[in-house]
Amino acid sequence: MLIRRIKCLRYLGTRYNSSHYVTTPIFYVNAAPHIGHLYSAVIADAHCRYQRLRYPEQDVRLCTGTDEHGTKIQQAASLHGVPVAKYCDDISQRYREVFRSASIQQDDFIRTTEDRHKRAVANFWRTLHTRGHIYSAAYSGWYCVSDETFLTDSQLRLDEATGTRYSLESGHPVEWTEETNYMFRLSQFQDDVRHWVKTEARVRPAKFEKILLDTLSEPLPDVSVSRPSNRVHWAIPVPDDDSQTVYVWLDALVNYLSSVGYPDEKFSAHWPPAQQVIGKDILKFHGIYWTAFLLAAGLEPPGQLYVHSHWTVDGQKMSKSKHNVVDPLQAAQQYTMEGLRYFLLREGVAHSDGNYSHVKAQRILNSELADTLGNLLSRASAKSLNPGQIYPSPSAEHLADLLRSLDVAKRLQDSLLQLSERCESHYECNHFHLVADTTMAALHAANNFFESSKPWTLKAGAPDGNQARLETIIAMTMDALRLSGIVLQPIIPQLANRLLDKLSVPTAQRGWNYLAESFATSPNSSNSPAGLGESRQLDGQTSALLFQRILEETSAKEVKEQKPQPAKRSKSKKKERRETMS
Ligand code: MSP
């Protein structure tokens, strides 16, 4: 079987390949970016940031970009009265801007209109052709312009009243089309694709593996991989046959190869991708077509397809006609971009659709980023309590006594001890909501500890004045903040950096291995400083106000008047979110 030969290549590849190549889908330029698009990119970015943090020796590479060919794009440009190339430039640039503002740390942004990509597509086509997987045939069927694909009867809905057929999946009308074009022998790859899907957790969450296997239980028809140039001309010509252009999905999928330099040999340093992040609507194209194309070309399919569900807005599908499309840049004005990233990763789960609502975003961000995380930093670094503005080192004697005498101190220690292992296993599965949950639980424990140990009664001049004990309490609290900052870097990179800056944590001490350095791991150290050693000065340049509460627009003026308050536990639907499929 072909797949066995490819497995041998894989063995050789993984031995010498320290690359961890990750991709997002490339985004259509027929409309502006919305939060659903950003979600695909933020998942891939958080995944890569975690990989860099956890495995610093790995060569992590993230590629994103724009998908610019096809009738849809041509139509959108003419609707706007703009030449199609200029239209593509403009929308592609908007994606870049959104991604820059959302701190998406991509190594490459590829556009399918670039020459390097056209060369890769031509080469890939020739490889399939030379290997005998492409043939010419007369083809007829129901074609959906919007989906850029032919659909079978079972994928259609007939409106009896008008006689019009619509794509069941997208709802767009289809038209009967008869033409000569090139076909790819997809039918011959049925077993190999099924084998690939079933092996080694290739498609996650498991729900999507099942969907693919259901599709694969029916015979796969061959698929048309070209269109007549006179019908679709904003596309890449078929090599050696100008009368046809390459099917836009074949063109688009090859971007993952073009980005790493295919067909030049250097591409093999990154191939295959470790993970490809996609939305559920493009599962078939990646799980079946892409896998088969790669196998046919003698290349290894990706390590994993990570499939996410969709965002609805106030319970409704996002669409231009409903005027409910959420622009990430506008949403960021309300929540900040870090707030938006946190909300998407905190509230979204891959296996089922998420609902975007202002009320929910406001509630989560206020309760978690403002009240639980930000407020604790403000309290521990308040001048009244911490006039020297330090991140103190704890006294071994008081630390031991607090851990012995206060349940809340012990609970904080326990949750910090578990933080690294738990978050690691959640990150490994892209369960970002569980990382946030675990970190918030640790921060709740820290808030409880801080509140119960009443550090303000220990201040100089207060009846129980005891500087060493006060500093120990602040040190333990700051350790909890520091560890949370390290863990949250992949999810809210800018905010986590600000937190770690404020605490004067050197860049070299922000790696995953530093989660093992805190009072929690060395409580009995006879050598007083636990955590990271000597007391240090907090960074006076960085504000201790990490995240401003989001107020209703009418009362926005009040933002400045806020005072730090004890944190309350969020009442969000935590249980529901915990039920994540593996
Ligand atoms: N151009 C193709 C992909 C080609 S990849 C070789 C495409 N583009 S898209 O712009 O329509 O979608 C890009 C990504 O955005 C997909 O992963 C899609 O699932 C995601 N989303 C689009 N709408 C979405 C939501 N409402 N919610 C979450 N993600 C959604 O498909």
Residue at 567 is within a domain: no
Contact 394, 475 (CB under 8 A): yes
Residue in the structure block whose two tokens are 């991509």 = 106
Asked if residue 252 has its Cβ within 6 Å of ligand 1, the reply is yes
Question: 435 lies in which domain range?
Answer: 371-537
Query: How far is the centre of ligand 1, averaged over its atoms, from the C-alpha of 24 (Å)?
Result: 9
Asked if residue 37 has its Cβ within 6 Å of ligand 1, the reply is yes
CA distance 24 to 523: 44
Residue at 248 is within a domain: no
3-state secondary structure of 144: strand
The one-letter amino acid code at 572 reads: S
DSSP string, 207-245: HHHHHHHHHHTSPPPPEE-EEETTT--SSPEETTEEEEE
Helices (H), 102-202: 115-130, 190-198
Contact 180, 139 (CB under 8 A): yes
What is the position in ligand 1's atom list of the atom closest to the CA of 25?
Answer: 5
3-state secondary structure of 370: helix
What DSSP state is assigned to residue 185? Answer: -
320 is in an annotated binding site: yes
Asked if residue 251 has its Cβ within 6 Å of ligand 1, the reply is no
Asked if residue 39 has its Cβ within 6 Å of ligand 1, the reply is yes
Asked if residue 354 has its Cβ within 6 Å of ligand 1, the reply is no
pLDDT of residue 245: 97
Could you write out the three-class secondary structure of 284-352? HHHHHHHHHHHHHCCCCCCCCEEEECCEEECCEECCHHHCCCCCHHHHHHHHCHHHHHHHHHHHCECCE
Contact 217, 288 (CB under 8 A): no
Who's near 294: CB < 8 A, 6+ residues apart?
272, 300, 301
CA distance 335 to 356: 13
Number of neighbouring beta carbons within 10 Å of residue 1: 10
Please tell me the residue having the least CA distance from ligand 1 atom 24.
Answer: 36
Asked if residue 208 has its Cβ within 6 Å of ligand 1, the reply is no
Contact 140, 178 (CB under 8 A): yes
CA distance 420 to 215: 39
What is the position in ligand 1's atom list of the atom closest to the CA of 311?
Answer: 27
Contact 149, 288 (CB under 8 A): no
Query: How far is the centre of ligand 1, averaged over its atoms, from the C-alpha of 28 (Å)?
Result: 8
pLDDT tens digits in sequence order for the chain, 582 residues long = 555 444 434 433 443 458 999 999 999 999 999 999 999 999 999 999 999 999 999 999 999 999 999 999 999 999 999 999 999 999 999 999 999 999 999 999 999 999 999 999 999 999 999 999 999 999 888 998 777 788 888 899 999 999 999 999 888 999 999 889 999 999 999 999 999 999 989 999 999 999 999 999 999 999 999 999 998 999 999 999 999 999 999 999 999 999 999 999 999 999 999 999 999 999 999 999 999 999 999 999 999 999 999 999 988 999 888 889 999 999 999 999 999 999 999 999 999 999 999 999 999 999 999 999 999 999 999 999 999 999 999 999 999 999 999 999 999 999 999 999 999 999 999 999 999 999 999 999 999 999 999 999 998 777 777 999 999 999 999 999 999 999 999 999 999 999 999 999 999 999 999 999 999 987 665 443 345 568 999 999 999 999 999 987 533 444 344 444 455 444 444 433 433 333
Asked if residue 326 has its Cβ within 6 Å of ligand 1, the reply is no
CA dihedral 246, 249, 254, 258 (to 10 degrees): 80
What crossing angle do the helices spanning 493-502 and 337-347 adopt, rounded to 10°? Answer: 110
Up-side HSE of residue 556: CA atoms within 13 Å toward CB?
5
Residue at 102 is within a domain: no
What is the position in ligand 1's atom list of the atom closest to the CA of 253?
Answer: 6
Contact 292, 221 (CB under 8 A): no
CATH number at residue 487: 1.10.730.10
Contact 546, 374 (CB under 8 A): yes
CA distance 416 to 449: 13
Element (H, E) at 418: helix 407-428
Who's near 210: CB < 8 A, 6+ residues apart?
none
Residue at 543 is within a domain: no
CA dihedral 434, 437, 438, 443 (to 10 degrees): 160
3-state secondary structure of 489: coil
The one-letter amino acid code at 388 reads: G
Residue at 152 is within a domain: no
pLDDT of residue 125: 98
**Among 22, 24, 27, 144, which is best to mutate for testing ligand 1, by the most ligand atoms less than 8 A from CB?**
27
CA distance 471 to 380: 10
What is the position in ligand 1's atom list of the atom closest to the CA of 255?
Answer: 6
Asked if residue 536 has its Cβ within 6 Å of ligand 1, the reply is no
Residue at 403 is within a domain: yes
Please tell me the residue having the least CA distance from ligand 1 atom 16.
Answer: 279
pLDDT of residue 559: 39
CA distance 45 to 478: 27
What DSSP state is assigned to residue 173? Answer: B
Maximal CA-CA distance, the chain: 93
- The sheet with strand 241-246 has its strands ordered as 226-228, 241-246, 237-238
CA distance 86 to 542: 42
pLDDT of residue 139: 82
Residue at 173 is within a domain: no
Q: What angle do CA 268, 273, 278 make, to 5 degrees?
A: 150
How many domains are there within the chain? 1
Output b/e per residue, 447-479; b: 16+ Cβ within 10 A: bbbbeebebeebbeeeeeebeebbbbbbbbbbb
Residue at 92 is within a domain: no
